[in-house]
Amino acid sequence: MHLDLTADAVTLTQQLVDIESVSRDEQAIADAVEAALTPLEHLTVIRRGNTVVARTELGHAERVVIAGHLDTVPLNDNLPSRLDEATGLLHGLGTCDMKGGDAVILRLAQTITRPDRDLTFILYEGEEIDTEFNGLHHLSQSDPELMTADFAILMEPSNGVVEAGCQGTLRVDVRTTGERAHSARSWKGVNAIHKAAEILARLNTYEARRPVIDGLEYHEGLNAVFVRGGVAGNVLPDECVVEVNFRFAPDRSEEEAEAFVRDFFDGFEVTLTDMAPGALPGLDRPAAKAFIDAVGGEVNPKFGWTDVARFTALGVPAVNFGPGDPMLAHKQEEHVPVDQIRSCERALTQWLGGAS
Amino acid sequence: MHLDLTADAVTLTQQLVDIESVSRDEQAIADAVEAALTPLEHLTVIRRGNTVVARTELGHAERVVIAGHLDTVPLNDNLPSRLDEATGLLHGLGTCDMKGGDAVILRLAQTITRPDRDLTFILYEGEEIDTEFNGLHHLSQSDPELMTADFAILMEPSNGVVEAGCQGTLRVDVRTTGERAHSARSWKGVNAIHKAAEILARLNTYEARRPVIDGLEYHEGLNAVFVRGGVAGNVLPDECVVEVNFRFAPDRSEEEAEAFVRDFFDGFEVTLTDMAPGALPGLDRPAAKAFIDAVGGEVNPKFGWTDVARFTALGVPAVNFGPGDPMLAHKQEEHVPVDQIRSCERALTQWLGGAS
C-alpha cells in the first residue's frame, strides 16, 4: 500500500484510514509510513518494531517532537473511509483517533524541509492497548534520546485546540469479606455484599478537588467502575469487590494520590491494581509558551490520561493538539471535520516557519 | 444392576449409591427400582418417566406417602461408596442426599406387607435441578391423585429428626440506572453503582421476623446474593443490579412476601425473578400428630425450601424425616452414619405396624 505525501492532508488521511491497523496488526501501515518517509533527504528514518521515527539533524539549539499513534481500536463495521462532501466530514475507523493527526505529521515531514528548529516525527504502534505494547513506552526505554526535545506535540484529537497536561489515574480494589452460609439460614454467615454499603456510602460523600495549575482548572474524580460479589443464588457471599478509579490532578504525585485513596477507604482492604502519573501542563516553559502564542486560541486542561505523560516523565513539556472531537474516539460513528485537519496543518506549518 | 430388597438397609444404600444417577441420567436406577418392586404382590407399580410409584390398595381410610428422589448432584470423585466400619460412616455421592432414605423406603416396601393404613412409595427423578425436570412436580401435574394422602414423609436428610414445614423463597433484581461517561470526566455522567449504596444500606437495617407457627420458630432472611455493575475500567457505569433472596416464613403467602420486598425497596426498580411458596408445618393435623407421637423426639422447623411444599400445595401435610446431616448434602465428603439409616427404618416400621 502506497502513501502519497504530496497529496493534500485529507486525501492522505483517507489513505491512512484505508490501511487497517488495529493494535498488534500495524506492520502494513508502519511499512507504508517508512517507505514514504525514507526518500526524504532532509530526514533520518529509524524503525523500531512498528514504530517509525524521522528526524532532522540540522544542529539547531531547539528540537520539537511531533507524534501520533498508528493503531486503532477494533473494527466495528466502519471501514473503508467515506468522505461526505456535503457536511465536510470524513467517516471511518481511525479518522478521528488519530489518522487525521498522522496525516498532518506526514505532510509536515514532506513540506518543512528547512525548519528553523530541529524536528522529530514519531509514528508509533500499540497506543490503544496495554502499556507493554505501546511503541512510545518502548522507545522511552530503548532509545529515550529519540524522544528528547524542548517541547512535544501529541496530535491526539483535541478539536484543534491546545490541551495541556493530563490527569493521573489509578485503580484500586476495595474488598470486604464475610462468611458463606446457606441463604435459608443466613444468620449463620456474614454477608460481604452488605458490608460494601459503607464503601459506596463514602463514595457518595466524595467532593471533587478542582485545582488551578498554570491557569488551567483540573477536575478530579473518584468513582466505582465495577462491583462484583456473589457465589450462588442461595448462598451468602463471602467476598465483595468494588473497583474504584481515581483521576487526579497533575499537582499530586502517584504516591500522594495512592495515599489519598487509602486514607479515604480507611478500614477496608485496598489493593492498588493500576497507576499512571499525571503530567503538569508545563505552560511556563519557553518552548510551550512560544507554541501557544503561535497557534493562538484558548488552552484547555486535559482530563483524560494520554501519552503526553510519557514525555513529561522524560522532562519534556508536551501538549495535545490535533483534529477531531475526542468524544468520538472509539465510537462506531467516528469521524473528523476535514477543515480541522487543514487548520491544524496550517497552524503547525506557520509555527515551524514553512509556507502557509 | 440388581437391588436386593432382602438385604439390610445399609447394604441396600450401598447398592443404590453404586448406581450412578446424576440428574437427567436416572434411567438405570429407576429401572433397577422398578424391577425390584414389581415382584412384590402387595404393591401396584406405576412408572412415569424415571419416577416409580408403588402403592398398596387395601381400602384403608387413611393413606400415607413416603417419598425420596433418586438423582444426585454431579460426581466429584466420590464414587463408589466406601463403608468405614470403624466410624460407622458410609461415604460417597448420594449416601446422605438421599439414597440412605431411598433404601429405607425400599425396605419398608419389602417388609410392610400388611400395613394398617394404605401406603404410597414414590421414588422420583430430577430433584437437584430446575423444577421443569422434577419428577414430583410432573406427577403433581399429570397424576395428582397418586400424591394424594392424609400425610406425607419426604425422606430428605434431617439427622433422623422430624423437620416440619418449610420457608418460602423469592429472588428479585433491584436495579439502579445512571448515565455513562468517561471516568476522566465523571461529572458528565451519573454513577449507577454509587446509587446502589442506598440498597445495601437498607439491607443493613433489615431485622428478621421470627414467627412461631405450630410451636416452631421460623427465621426469615433478606440477603443480597449477587451484585454486579460496571462497563470498563474507565467508564462510569450506567447500571447496577443487586440480586436479593428473601426467605420467608410459611405464614406469609407468595403475594405477601413479594409485597414486603417491593415495599422494602420502595423507590427502586424491583423485578421478581424466582419464587416458591413456603409450607405450613401442619402439625395440627391428626395424621401428622400421630406420626410425631410415634417416632418421638423433637420437631424442628425447616428453614430451607424442599419438596414438602409440593405436597402442602395439594393439601397434604408433609414433613422431612431421613438419615444424614443436611449440611453435608452436595459436598464432596458427603456421608451418612449407618446407625441413622437403621434408626429411621426402625421408627417407620414401628409406626406402620410392622415388626421392629
pLDDT in tens, A272-324: 999 999 999 888 888 888 899 888 778 999 988 889 999 998 999 899 999 99
pLDDT in tens, B305-353: 889 999 998 999 899 999 999 888 888 899 999 999 999 999 999 999 8
Instruction: List the catalytic residue out of B26, B34, B71, B125.
Output: B71
Evaluate whether ipTM surpasses 0.85: no
Architecture of the A168-276 domain: 2-Layer Sandwich (3.30)
Subunit contact A224:B187, Cβ cutoff 8 A:
no
pLDDT in tens, B212-267: 999 999 999 999 999 999 988 888 999 999 999 999 999 999 999 999 999 999 99
Q: Which residue of A171, A234, A243 is in closest CB contact with B245? A: A234
Residue among B180, B141, B223 nearest A179 (CA):
B223
Subunit contact A197:B201, Cβ cutoff 8 A:
yes
Residue among A154, A123, A148 nearest A62 (CA):
A148
Nine-digit cell string for A160: 484543534
pLDDT at residue A102, rounded to an integer? 98
Question: For the sheet containing A89-91, what is the strand order?
Answer: A82-84, A89-91, A335-337
Query: Mind giving me the DSSP string for B126-172?
Result: --SS-GGG-HHHHHHHH-GGGT--SEEEE---STTSEEE-B-EEEEE
A127 is catalytic: yes
Tell whether pTM > 0.95: no
B71 is catalytic: yes
Range A225-248 average pLDDT: 95
The Cα B71–Cα B342 span in angstroms is 22
Nine-digit cell string for A326: 475526542
Fold equal for A9-166+279-351 and A168-276? no
Instruction: List the catalytic residue out of B97, B102, B125, B127.
Output: B127
The Cα B298–Cα B89 span in angstroms is 24
Q: Where are the domains of chain A?
A: 9-166+279-351, 168-276
- How far does A189 lie from chain B, in Å, by closest CA? 11
Distant-in-sequence, close-in-space partners of B141: CB < 8 Å, separation ≥ 6: none
Residue A348 pLDDT greater than 60, yes or no: yes
Encoded amino acid at A197, one letter: A
Q: Which residue of B184, B221, B240 is in closest CB contact with A305? A: B184
pLDDT in tens, A58-88: 999 999 999 999 999 989 899 999 999 999 9
Query: Counting Cβ atoms within 10 Å, is residue A160 exposed (0-12), middle (13-18) or buried (19+)?
Result: buried
Looking at chain A, which residue has its C-alpha nearest residue B326? A182
Hey, which CATH number is domain B9-166+279-351, 3.40.630.10, 3.40.50.2300, 3.30.70.1530, 3.40.640.10? Answer: 3.40.630.10
Residue A257 pLDDT greater than 90, yes or no: yes
User: Tens place of pLDDT for every residue, chain B, 356 residues?
Assistant: 799 999 999 999 999 999 999 999 999 999 999 999 999 999 999 999 999 999 999 999 999 999 999 999 989 899 999 999 999 999 999 999 999 999 999 999 999 999 989 999 999 999 988 888 999 999 999 999 999 999 999 999 999 999 998 999 999 999 999 999 889 989 989 999 999 999 999 999 999 999 999 999 999 999 999 999 998 888 899 999 999 999 999 999 999 999 999 999 999 999 999 899 999 988 888 888 889 988 877 899 998 888 999 999 899 989 999 999 988 888 889 999 999 999 999 999 999 987 64
The Cα B56–Cα B43 span in angstroms is 5
Looking at chain B, which residue has its C-alpha nearest residue A206? B194
